[in-house]
Copies of this chain bind each other. A is one copy, B any other.
Amino acid sequence: MFASRRVTRPRVLIVEQLNRLDAFSTAQTVYTSLCARGKKVGIATIYRNLQAMAGRQELDTLHMDGETFYRLCKDRHHHHHLVCRKCGRTVEFEIPGFEEWTREGARSLGFSEVSHSLELFGVCKRCRLGATSNDSDASD
């Protein structure tokens, strides 16, 4: 699925919307915000594309409450996220040596093929000071 990467209208819109949102967003959010701008794209198409892009490492993903959040990748190398619980705004960070540290510790406990998931959640300054929801977006 999605082997050829054609440039279609829906794809352009999805990427553009991800850019506007600039925060971890669900497929539904992308869909809704596109609708709000009068751009019609089938929700299935959005799910399919977000999934495919994530598979190609073009998007970062995050799981919360059984929902998948996507965001355009900023950083190429392995990193973690500090995500605002209110608006989804995100800061990326890395912990040098963390990967090796976990692998090592796990191995000493008899585990192999180790992977890890680390996410930090909090409330960003802007949200703490007033704003309640996602901002971004503006012109067309």
Contact = CB atoms under 8 A, between A and B. Distances in A.
Q: Which of A102, A116, A120 has the most CB of B within 10 A?
A: A120
A8 interface: no
Given A82-B106, A93-B105, A106-B82, A120 B125 contact: no
Nearest to A119: B117
Interface residues of A, number: 29
Nearest to A84: B111
A123 B120 CA distance: 25
Contact of A125 (B105, B110, B115): B110
Given A63-B66, A82-B109, A109-B82, A115 B124 contact: no
A105 B93 CA distance: 10
Interface string A74-115: 000000001011000001010000000010011001111111
A3 interface: no
A47 interface: no
A117 B121 contact: yes
Contacts of A110: 124-125
